[in-house]
Amino acid sequence: MFIISNKTFGVLSGLSFAFILVLLLLAANANAATESGRINRYVVAVSANNGGSGRPMLRYAESDARSFAKVLKEMGGVQPQNVILVREPSVAALQKEFSNLDSKILENGASDGRNEVLVYYSGHADEKGLRLGEETYTWKDLRNRIDALSADVKIAVIDACGSGAITRVKGGKAVPAFMVDQSSDMKGYAFITSSTQDESSQESDKLKGSFFTHSLVSGLRGAGDLSSDGKVTLSEAYQFAFNETLQKTETTLGGAQHPSRDMNLAGTGDVVMTDLRATSAGLDLDESVYGRLYIRDENGELVAELNKKRGHAMSLGLPAGRYAVNLQQDIDYMGTSVVLSNGKREKVTLGSFKSVVAEQTVLRGEIGDNRNCSSDGHVACSLDSLDHNGKFRTTFNIIDKDTSPRKGLQLGLLVAQTNDYMLGSQVSLIANIAKKEMHGLQAATIVNVAKEHFEGAQLSSVVSYAGSLDGVQVSSALNLTKDKSSGAQIGIVNVAVDTLEGVQVSAGVNYAKATDLQVTAGVNAALAAKTQVVAGVNYATNSRIQVSAGVNATHVNEKVQVGIVNYATEEKGRQWGIVNVCAHCEKSPVGIISIVGNGVWSVTPYLNEMGALGGSVHLGTAYFYTVLDWAAFFKKGSGFSEFEKHYEHGFGIGTQFGKYGSHFELEYTFFNVYDKFRLDDDGKFGYHHRGRVGYVYQVLPGFGLSVGGTLNVTSEGYLNKLLLKPLGDYHDDLHIKKHNARWWPGFYAGLTFGRF
């Protein structure tokens, strides 16, 4: 038996007390470290579908920004009040949001911990910077502004064409994650972009978002957790998004898309972007599951897509709800459904999946059962299978109706209708109807209708309609497309509710949300048009080239307007016309009357050496303006109380040497001179050429004094003689061939009112 003495017991008791004291101190230090290591995270998610004139309107920039912010709010430790969503901002508005964020961070600066800012942008960009409507936020200014944010860690994710221009080829150093390591002293920045400098970033109607953001969000929800530690770091999320984006875009028309990064993070950890344990519901994929997984919510939206390897378990963080999980293994397709509840995780094994029912994977009717289609590529696969396996058929009925996939010729005396996919032709007297996608020809006396997508030609004497079009519509009345299309519309009235990448030719009216070329004898109207040619009226919200025998009107024009009357709110090119009007012109218009809001519009009453009281109107810009002039002559010796019967009016051009306010100006004006107000057979007329150099002194804004010298030449008319001269005797008479002329130097003085 082992006996402990009183002395020994006392020693052990003292050691136990000291040990407990040490444990308490360590616990207190750990709690203090936890508090001091807290992370304060902010998200600024910016979306800009509109990249200005000449660029297609994006569809999913806003939803992409919401998806990015949502996953970080659910799994990235971002408090709802720290999520800032910015839609369609101007440069100034975005800069203001950054300033407000700085103020917010400084307000919260009293609390311990590290501040992190994640900036996300989805929209248009080019080699110069972000395209925010008609403005550009340069890469240099954007990067400097993000670098200057009042935070320890700044992460920018930019999903836009050419976004790689903001990065340099440089990778971050991978070290253990810090979200749990509260002693981390991480500082620095990271810029992640969806493409390299010379690549296009692409969005997909199938994904209802961009390839890059969709892949990045899938990775953040857990697909990118390569280490299987329940956390997704910045490096893991980037690597997953890189591989998935490249794989999805290698065969697209836009070409392979390579995300890039510039990371300069110093400290003891890698940035943990999301923690799967932070979600209230989750989906666990067993080691036995392998292949391509597509996960859709109860609305059919694709929320995650990934390749899963056999023997590797995976967890995904998802909001509570019902989900369909489809699995593709080579040519085999399987599916299952799960309901995720708050506070609970659902596990899916390979045995949970069942083969997808025939209606979802195999085309019906004459196609055969040797061709399978995944739900994500069903239309293209169905048409391809129909093309390779379908039998060519020709049918004829008074009303020819087919409910099966169709390849061949469908003839209806009155109506031809197909309810499924079709490759071939429909011909009828009254109507052709295709309820699903059709490739081929529709020819009808009255109406053609393609409810979904149509590729080919629609020919009708009255109306042709397509949900979307790749081809041509020809009718003698109305052509109409609802969704984004490409090709040509030829008719009296052409309407493209969405973008038409192609041409509209009509005898009456063309309308498109956005198009390349509109040609008509009546009216062209578009929200965005590259080129409009018309005999009547062109109207566009954004345009590049407008040519008209009548009126051109646009809010923003990029290149040129040629017409009798041209109007633009903002003219970046040049206007050529009889009357030009623009609120803001970057180049000088050329015309008889040019009214420029930011240019020259002034009136100058004056007296000159001929004893004339005149008035001139200047319209245009400081670099080039037109002159409208009129003058009547006082009788000599009347004391400026009585006018002669003769008068003159003229038109000219001039320049102010490119300066507004007080300035020198140089002008030439050509006058017609008449000896009385109503010219009859006994009347006389002549010509007066005047060049002048003057100076306008601005006394007050809108008011100035004008003085200058002139050189004058007058000549006889072809029928009658009328030679002007100054009041003094300092002119010289000339005889040139059969015509008499007179010249003299002159002067003038007057008052100038307006903008000069």
* Alpha-carbon separation of residue 147 from 96, 241, 401 (angstroms): 16, 24, 65
Structural domain includes residue 583: no
pLDDT at site 716: 82
| pLDDT tens for each residue of 414-425 | 999 999 899 999
590, burial (CB in 10 Å: exposed 0-12, middle 13-18, buried 19+): middle
Residue-wise pLDDT tens digits, 608-630: 999 999 999 999 999 999 999 99
Please give the average per-residue pLDDT across 227-243, as a whole number: 86
Looking at residues 663-675, what average pLDDT do you find? Answer: 94
Q: In which band, very low, low, confident or very high, does the pLDDT at 14 lie, cut at 50, 70 and 90?
A: very low
- Same structural domain for residues 329 and 238? no
One domain, residues 330 and 296: yes
Amino acid letter, 89: P
pLDDT at 75: 87
pLDDT bucket at 677, cuts 50 / 70 / 90: low
CATH number for the domain including 311?
2.60.40.1120
Mean pLDDT of 494-513: 96
Q: In this structure, is residue 389 part of a structural domain?
A: no
Using one digit for the tens of pLDDT, what is the confidence trace for 99-138?
999 998 888 864 567 889 999 999 888 888 899 989 999 9
Residue 18, pLDDT score: 44
Q: Give the pLDDT mean for 307-329.
A: 86
Residues 168 and 274 in one domain: yes
In percent, the amount of the chain with pLDDT more than 90 equals 49
Give pLDDT, residue 163: 64
Q: What is residue 134's DSSP assignment?
A: T
The answer to whether the CB of 508 falls within 8 A of the CB of 494 is: no
Is residue 53 located within the same domain as residue 184? Answer: yes
Whether residue 431 lies inside any domain: the answer is no
Q: 746 lies in a domain?
A: yes
Domain co-membership, 196 together with 304: no
Tell me what pLDDT residue 267 has: 67
Question: What does the alpha-carbon distance between residue 355 and residue 360 come to, in Å, rounded to a whole number?
Answer: 10
Task: Pick the closest to residue 598 from 612, 587, 611 (CA basis).
Answer: 587
More confident residue, 549 or 357: 549
In a domain, 463, yes or no: no
Which one of 243, 278, 313 terminates a domain?
A: 278
Q: How many CB atoms lie within 10 A of CB 532?
A: 29
pLDDT digits (tens, 9 = 90+) for 565-591: 999 999 999 999 999 999 999 999 999
Averaged pLDDT of the chain: 83
| 710 and 723 together in one domain | yes
Q: Do 191 and 306 belong together in one domain?
A: no
In the chain, the number of structural domains is: 3
* Separation of alpha carbons 242 and 193, rounded Å: 10
Strands 537-548 and 523-534: parallel
| CATH number of 682's domain | 2.40.160.20
Pick the more confident residue, 168 or 452.
452
Residues 599 and 585 sit within 8 Å (Cβ to Cβ): yes
pLDDT of residue 114: 81
> Parallel, antiparallel, or unpaired for β 703-716 and 739-755?
antiparallel
152 and 194 share one domain: yes
166 has a pLDDT exceeding 70: no
Mean pLDDT across 376-385? 62
At which of 324, 356, 388 does a domain end? 356
By percentage, how much of the chain surpasses pLDDT 70? 83
pLDDT at 316: 86
Kind of pairing, strands 600-608 and 272-275? unpaired
| 537 located within any domain | no
**Residue 95 covered by a domain:** yes
Q: Which of 471-480, 486-495, 527-536, 683-692 is predicted least confidently?
A: 683-692
Residues 521-547: pLDDT tens digits? Answer: 999 999 999 999 999 999 999 999 999
Of 356, 376, 406, which marks where a domain is finished?
356
DSSP label at residue 270 = B
Regarding whether 269 and 326 lie in a shared domain, the answer is: no
Q: What are phi and psi of 717, to 5 degrees?
A: -80, 175
Question: Residue 185: which CATH number?
Answer: 3.40.50.1460
Same domain, 317 and 208: no
Residue from 177, 235, 232, 230 nearest 37 by CA = 177
Whole-structure pTM value: 0.50
Q: Based on the domain organization, do 212 and 232 belong to the same domain?
A: yes
Residue 370 has pLDDT above 50, yes or no: no
For residue 416, being part of any structural domain is answered with no
Q: What is the pLDDT of residue 293?
A: 86
262 shares its domain with 312:
no
Give per-residue pLDDT as tens, 37-73: 578 899 999 999 888 887 778 888 898 899 899 889 8
Per-residue confidence band for 236, with pLDDT thresholds at 50, 70 and 90: confident
3-state secondary structure 71-103: HHHHHCCCCHHHEEEEECCCHHHHHHHHHHHHH
Helical residues (DSSP H) of 330-453, grouped into ranges: 358-361, 378-389
Give the residues across from 275 on adjacent strands.
231
Q: Are 53 and 94 in contact (CB under 8 A)?
A: no
Residue 693 — pLDDT band, cuts 50, 70, 90?
A: very high
User: By residue range, what is the domain housing residue 159?
Assistant: 34-278
Rg (CA), the chain: 38
Q: What is the pLDDT of residue 106?
A: 86
